[in-house]
Structure 1
């Protein structure tokens, strides 16, 4: 397929923010007296919308309580997230290669756009990304098709012109819902066999294979 636009998930695709996310959740659990969760349990929620992740890890279902916990988490995140988020070694070379070749590049994530921007700014690569669709911009969180469709509309392109790259079945489902081709990268918590239910044009060990 010939694409003119490459859209990426962020957590576990371009960057590993597991340390920061685990740290923030541990502080949240301690402050509000929730049972401690394992790193594996917390990591398994990375990529979900924050309300859903909080609900899974705390057992809460009341939207008001979840919103309050989300606000508390954000305060921890303001301090701990960006210093504990690390771009994968392949990310910058891949983005530079695509940008030099003239492709459109975007990020579509369930993370907040301003948090993603902080990592990009620190790495001095914010100029490589044309648009970030995060939780503030998205009309609905992934796996809804809407965030990807927003990115397509930004570039005034159709679905066949874009490739979405992500690490999870949530990303694969998002691409499928938007009728966008999908390439999986195995740098997250999702194994190759887990993508069997989805149409993947490629399954990569790292972004260097893109």
Structure 2
């Protein structure tokens, strides 16, 4: 099926930010005396909001405390994140092919928009991405459909004309809640078998399969 709009998650879908993300979490954990939180556990929270990730990893539910951790994370992230974010090699060729087809493209992420835009500028992707909706642009994070619906409104595209591409079950549920089609990519920590439990049009090993 041909789509008029292709919307992407960011972390583990278009780019690998895990090095920077792990560094930021470890910085907060060391600063606050947490021990024994494994890297793999951190990686499995990528795609959640920072608040959700800190609650899951530390077991702390007090929102004021968690907000303090998020602030420390963001401060460290301002220093290290963009330099430690690498686009997957298939991302730029895939986006160029999509733009040649005349379709609309966007990014819907829990990551801050300004951080994603810094990466877009770094890789010269400005003309390949029509819009970015980050965590600060919505009232409710994924799997809420809010970000997707905002994108469709701005791109003037219908739900049936739109494909959302992501690496996690949260992304799959976001697409389902928004009423758009979903394509999974296994470049994150979610396996092809995991995606069999949710509606999808395809499960891809990497983004090059999107434009075959």
TM-score class normalised by the smaller sequence: over 0.9
Alpha-carbon separation, structure 1, partners of 2:114 and 2:126: 11
What secondary structure does 2:198 align onto? coil
Structure 2 residues without counterparts, runs of 5 or longer: none
Alpha-carbon separation, structure 1, partners of 2:151 and 2:50: 21
Alpha-carbon separation, structure 1, partners of 2:98 and 2:157: 17
Alignment match, 1:44 = 44
Alpha-carbon separation, structure 2, partners of 1:191 and 1:93: 24
What secondary structure does 1:74 align onto? helix
Q: Residues 138, 76 of structure 1: CA spacing in aligned structure 2 closer, same or farther, 3 A cutoff?
A: same
Shift of the alpha carbon at 1:156? Answer: 1.8
* Count of aligned pairs: 210
After superposing the two structures, state which structure 1 stretch, 174-183 or 52-61, moved more.
52-61
Alpha-carbon separation, structure 1, partners of 2:189 and 2:151: 25
Cα shift readout 1:64-93 (whole Å, capped 9, x = no counterpart): 111111011000000111111100000000
Alignment match, 1:181 = 181
Alignment match, 1:120 = 120
Alignment pair present for 1:132 and 2:124: no
Structure 1 residues without counterparts, runs of 5 or longer: none
Cα shift readout 1:74-131 (whole Å, capped 9, x = no counterpart): 0000011111110000000001111121110000011111111111111111221111
What secondary structure does 1:136 align onto? helix
Alignment match, 1:158 = 158
Alignment of 1:1-210 (within 5 A): 1-210=1-210
Alpha-carbon separation, structure 2, partners of 1:66 and 1:146: 24
- The TM-score normalised by the length of structure 1 is 0.98
Q: CA RMSD in A?
A: 0.8
Shift of the alpha carbon at 1:60? Answer: 1.2
Moved over 6 A (4+): none
Alpha-carbon separation, structure 1, partners of 2:137 and 2:153: 13
Shift of the alpha carbon at 1:45? Answer: 0.2
Shift of the alpha carbon at 1:48? Answer: 0.5
Shift of the alpha carbon at 1:199? Answer: 1.2
- The TM-score normalised by the length of structure 2 is 0.97
Shift of the alpha carbon at 1:196? Answer: 1.1
Alpha-carbon separation, structure 2, partners of 1:120 and 1:37: 31
Shift of the alpha carbon at 1:54? Answer: 1.0
Alpha-carbon separation, structure 1, partners of 2:66 and 2:31: 14
